[in-house]
Structure 1
Amino acid sequence: MLKTTYLLCASLLSVALLAGCGSKEKEEEKKDEESVSALGAVSAMKEMAEQAEEMQKKGPVDAVDFRTLKELLPADVDGLARKEATGEKNGAAGMVISTANAKYANEDGSESIDLAIVDAGGTAMLMGLAAWSMVEIDKETEHGYEKTSTMGDYKSYEKYDNTDKDGEISVLVAKRFVVTAKGRGVSMDKIKAAVEDIDLSKLAGLK
């Protein structure tokens, strides 16, 4: 369990160290920025390792039945009708996760949103699903942005491409549930609305 987490942390550190690389002319300008990124990755790696150790001590908890998670998926999201809803429960080596998925789209399919609720059951697998919850991200380009933020009381991660109108948002609830909405051909407001249509407080209370 810890080995998987350390590998994830190592990958995170590598990404942070390489993120600032560019042309020689920009190296000096980005030197301080890279140092901050590296320090942030080291801090995140330490926190992830500590959380993995805590999870190992407590042991995994039973993941919520995916049928219960499916009940929280809305019938429609901001005018997009639900086309299908599925669920499953999988596990190995003592790590079990439950997942509920739903697909939403307009009549011609030009606008669509995929919504998912995952219960990692308090295992280290959560570190892979929500590694972004351990770091601070804030990037912006002429085409879009990527950042960590909050939705209500919960840590969130979002990114959006203004050109293609594609984006996603993920929310970590009660340190075990990850809610993700991925949209195509829609605004970020519409993608966020999909998550807001889920009763996150009720989800947080599930055991």
Structure 2
Amino acid sequence: MQMSNTLLYTGLLCAALLTSCGGNKEEEKKDEESVSARGAVSAMKEMAEQAEELQKNGPVEAIDFRTLKELLPADADGLARKEANGEKNGAAGMVISTANAKYANDDNSETVELAIVDGGGSSMLMGLAAWSMIEVDKETENGYEKTGKMGDYKSYEKYDNANKEGEIAVLVAKRFIVTVKGRGMSMDKIKSILEDVDLSKLASLK
């Protein structure tokens, strides 16, 4: 995940939250909008509390991406790994470490991108996993998007029924984000690929 995408995502999230809190007094009287506003205020409060905690404790040095690469499975629910890479980068004292892998079947009708990111416990994490501090639950005839939990970990997932594309992400130990994006497959398979990653071992890394 590139730095520019992270900053853009953070900006869009903040803008969306501020919009939810805005509006004229007449609109705020509506029950539905009041509920939305309260949810946005709660999310912003949690983000502020986490930012304060991170500032107090200070950032943790990001894990070497080579260590993260070792957790990338050689096989993703029957799909062969085609490539794997990693990098560490950052700015203004905020450093993230990332390991990525791509998987596919023989005719590329099923493809997967898997990423393990270590935000190092810095404020960068609030942009990378901002979804962990809000609640989303949307469903249409084309698919769905929601936040929740997968086992002990906060999760975010979305799926497009028409294109058979989806993704799931989990936040591990308040610093690691594991994301699986799949094309040409069911959400059940995407989740099973996430289970191929040893999340307990990832959580134990220091």
Quickly name the TM-score band, shorter chain normalised. 0.7 to 0.9
Going from structure 1 to structure 2, the CA distance change for 1:17 and 1:112 (only over 3 Å counts) comes to farther
- Contact persistence 1:9–1:45 (CA under 8 A): no
Q: Which amino acid aligns with 1:11?
A: A
Task: Name structure 2 gaps, 5 residues minimum.
Answer: 1-6
TM-score normalised per structure 2: 0.88
The Cα offsets for residues 149-203 of structure 1, whole Å up to 9 and x where unpaired, read as 1111000000001110011001000000000001111110111111110111110
- Contact persistence 1:167–1:191 (CA under 8 A): yes
The Cα offsets for residues 80-120 of structure 1, whole Å up to 9 and x where unpaired, read as 11000000000111111000000001111111010000000
Matched residue, 1:53: 52
Task: Name structure 1 gaps, 5 residues minimum.
Answer: 19-26
Matched residue, 1:74: 73
Percent of residue pairs bearing the same amino acid type: 77
Q: Which amino acid aligns with 1:10?
A: C
Q: Which amino acid aligns with 1:146?
A: E
TM-score normalised per structure 1: 0.87
2:122 is the counterpart of 1:123? yes
Matched residue, 2:100: 101
RMSD: 2.0
Q: CA deviation at 1:133?
A: 0.5
Hey, what's the Cα distance between the residues in 2 that align with 1:7 and 1:166?
Answer: 25
- Contact persistence 2:10–2:130 (CA under 8 A): no
Matched residue, 2:148: 149
Matched residue, 1:23: none
Alignment: residue pair count = 193
Matched residue, 1:186: 185
